[in-house]
Amino acid sequence: MTDSSAKSTPSYSLFLKRDCPTCQLIVPVIDELRAAGVTLQIYSQDDPDFPVASDVIDDTQLEHSYRAHIEVVPTLIRDDAERAEGWDRGQWRVLTQLPFLGEPLIPFKPGCGSKTQDPGMDDVLALRFGEGQLHARHVELAASEDELEACYDRGWSDGLPVVPPTALRVLRMLRGAQRDAAEIIGNVPPDNVPCSVEKVAINAVLAGCKPEYFPVVLASVEAALQDKFCMHGLLCTTYFSSPVVIVNGEVAKRIGMNSGMNALGQGNRANATIGRALQLLIRNVGGGVPGGIDRATMGNPGKYSYCFAEDESDADWPTLAEDRGFARGESVVSLFAGEGLQGIVDQQSRTPESLALSLAASLRAVAHTKLFGMADAILLVSPEHRRVFREGGWSKADLRAALYNALMTPGTEIMRGANGIAEGMPEKLKDKILNKFRDDGLHIVTLGGTAGMFSAIIGGWVASGERGSQLVSQAVY
């Protein structure tokens, strides 16, 4: 007959490694535990012959240490619950109920870091032993295949080398955002393929992103999938346009995006790879391949990547995100269907009135000087030109109003056939006063280095507005 009130005999697990002075120190204690009849299982992280015992479990793959959440060796665990880390004689005596355990040893010696805590090992072990981490199809390469060439041969590249999306790299990218890998964020045109967070991560790896960029990449994809952006139409057009990614707020500074000198050029990893990740995803998930659904007559270099942060150094000059209803400093991604860059040179204007007229004259050239209300635009105002307005007492709203007024034009001047040019507006509008841009069609952003009285224009898709693509914004989470 069994006494149900009797306590069961406790069992112990001990995790250690040879390359640890404290683990070496406690070898005599192990002998004491065995002599006392303690049920003890030893797991060795680096040498299954340490300590010398017939029942040491080889844990060099670290599965047992990972599942037991070992951070320090030695660690003694009682009944998979209570534990002691390092060597603390008093604590070990309480845990084992052996009052004279380790009497010859020093009372205390801290342990060493578990091999599970080595740099990068957490992701390796999560991938090796975790469950449900990744869902995408695993592509096996032949031993003779070059990884970079294999990515290119399978059509995953935009023409430039990509970073092979190994499972470990994808897992680390996913760790950059607090989102479920299996979450579907929408259907990607033109094939309307469901897109998971994991698929976004794969393309972020291909593009060369760092994990800390991933929330911005996700926001750019979510923005592109908004109906108002009309990504499907943008892919199909024969025009020059492609997505332009503009980042505002704290995240731009935190990940080191460039909003200053050469912000639209090469050299900044975040600028280059975030925009590229969006383009690769549209290609690899949605099927937007040049020569297929992508029918651009010429395209533009921005179809590799067109991404930058706004200069927010003037606290009195509202940012694009503020124009879109967000708070200053809030992390926001905005997407615009834009063509290549049109530079504006004005090194003579020293009054807001002159400079506004100068910028308006250049804005007339968006799409065509005789086509009005067809394409939106972004006016990129350099810091030096912004200084002219600020020193003249003008706000951003003043500049916007001056541009609107300067661009009002009689229909007779821009009709088809006027000035000997067949292109132009329909005859029915000849008695109208027209503006170059629709309401909410001209966006003003500050960008660039502090030297150089040059601004620029990113013209929009000629299917801008309610019948086509509108600028959209998405908060970064």
Length of the chain: 477
Mean pLDDT of 105-111: 97
pLDDT value for 112? 98
Question: Does 167 have pLDDT greater than 60?
Answer: yes
Q: Kindly report, residue by residue over 53-74, the tens digit of the pLDDT.
A: 768 999 999 999 999 999 999 9
Residues sharing a CB contact under 8 Å with residue 375, sequence separation 6 or more, in sequence order: 366, 367, 459, 460, 461, 462, 464
Query: CA dist 194 to 155, 185, 264, 475, Å?
Result: 19, 8, 31, 21
- Please write the tens of the pLDDT for every residue from 232-276: 999 999 999 999 999 999 999 999 999 999 999 999 999 999 999
Q: Residue 25: helix, strand or coil by DSSP? A: helix
Closest CA to 366 of 379, 353, 354, 349: 379
pTM of the model: 0.89
Buried b (16+ CB within 10 A) or exposed e, 207-228: bbbbbbbbbbbbbbbbbbbeee
Distance of CA 442 to CAs 241, 308, 320, 398, 432, Å? 16, 18, 11, 14, 20
Q: What is the DSSP letter of 187?
A: E
Q: How far apart are CA 374 and CA 435, in angstroms?
A: 10
Residue 8 is predicted with a pLDDT of 77
**Contact in structure between 221 and 335 (CB atoms under 8 Å):** no
What is the helix, strand, coil percentage profile of the chain, to 5? 35, 20, 45
Rounded distance, CA 41 to CA 77, Å? 10
Phi, psi of 244 (to 5 degrees): -110, 125
Question: Any idea what DSSP says for residue 9?
Answer: P
Domains and CATH numbers, the chain: 11-118 (3.40.30.10), 147-475 (no CATH)
